[in-house]
Amino acid sequence: MSAILIPQRGFSRRTLLKAAAAGAALGAMPGLAMAQAHAEAQARRLDPGAKPLLFAHRGASALRPEHTLASYAKAIADGADYVEPDLVMTKDGVLVARHENHLTDTTDVGTRPEFASRRTKKVIDGQAHEGWFVDDFTLGELKTLRAVERLSTIRVANTAYNGQFQIPSFEEIIDFVAAESATRGRVIGIVPELKSSTYFAGVGLPMEDNFVSTLMAHEYSRRAPIEIQSFEVANLKYLRKKLGRPANMRLMQLVLGGPLRPSDVAAAGGSMTFAEMITPAGMRAIATYADVVAPPTRVIIPLGKDERLTAPTSFVSDAHQAGLLVHIWTFRPENVFLAADFRNGADMNARNEAGSVAEIKRYIETGIDGFFSDDSALGRAAIDS
């Protein structure tokens, strides 16, 4: 067998459901269900007949404040194959789910006088930010905060949930997904992203060993489908060496389409850009340590000057030839986020469910292996229609 293993196209929803049924709905013999679900992944072959996987982007973030248990619950109820916790590190070394280290836009920290003195400025991944930051709070302090809707002028309905939900730890998310899996009789994957690894290592809070220890400490995450994401490169290479290639785990290299460099590459003075990484040669290099390459949607089908879709690029075929799966991000159901082809006559901030489903279907036709969506019900409708 060659050193580069060719990944299976995906844990198909059908395979997972069959495995769950064989394991008595994860009840009497939960390990058997997961083992059967993962046995087919051992071959790691591309399967053109499989349906694309549905990743719940920050949960059902179009319908609930992101990275809350409520958001993950809604996504699972709506048919997501995987839920996504973006992970950052607290002052006392606990992994929690926030899209970034910056707390200001997704919590009520700005209204808390007891934390007013912690407002500060930081440079994270080369970008300057001002506000409140996760690594200046202990887990206990974070638990006193409540989540709020980030896109409050677009997703106005979500603001009704402001103040209701805590910031969950990674351990709490694993337990929650395990409970949902047992309740619903189907295996639910977890697709964690390690955010700003280089920054956290620089402030004495390295993430990777903590992350692996957390995964290995839980029965569910030792066997459930796990895809580990990062925009950085060195952390994925480290995790590949540390984890090996277990049948239930994949590594996902997140990429952009332009001249920016991964944060760890930039911090080390390297010159490699994302544009170089997504060339055929670059993707062959990615395949030496990762199983999946994950670009934004418009790298697969770009927008023209009229904001309509143009012809697909060769990205999917280039990635498949390199032995990589393609999981793209992110589909959002509001007009403002859709290509002009699919917008309706409503306000730009209005939900456009039909347009979103139609846009997702256009991308599925390119042969992608999975996608992230803010609304799992619409993603499921596009896959199953």
The two structure tokens encoding residue 54: 């549905």
pLDDT-derived band at 218, boundaries 50, 70, 90 = very high
Average the pLDDT over 92-121 and give the result.
Answer: 97
Q: Global pTM?
A: 0.88
Q: What is the pLDDT of residues 235-256, one digit of tens each?
A: 999 999 999 999 999 999 999 9
The pLDDT value given to residue 313: 97
Residues 6+ positions from 256 with CB-CB distance below 8 Å: 231, 274, 295, 296, 299
Average the pLDDT over 345-353 and give the result.
Answer: 97
> Does pLDDT of 16 surpass 60?
no
pLDDT-derived band at 50, boundaries 50, 70, 90 = confident
The two structure tokens encoding residue 47: 């399967």
Average the pLDDT over 95-101 and give the result.
Answer: 97
Share above pLDDT 90 across residues of the chain, in percent, rounded to a whole number: 86
Count of other CB atoms within 10 angstroms of residue 156:
11
The pLDDT value given to residue 38: 37
Using the Cα atoms of residue 166, residue 168, residue 172 and residue 177 in order, give the sign of their dihedral.
positive
Q: What is the pLDDT of residues 298-309, one digit of tens each?
A: 999 999 999 999
Cα(95)–Cα(72) distance, integer angstroms: 17
pLDDT-derived band at 15, boundaries 50, 70, 90 = very low
> Does pLDDT of 277 surpass 70?
yes
Domains in the chain with CATH codes: 13-98+159-384 (3.20.20.190)
> Does pLDDT of 43 surpass 80?
no
Mean residue pLDDT across the chain: 90
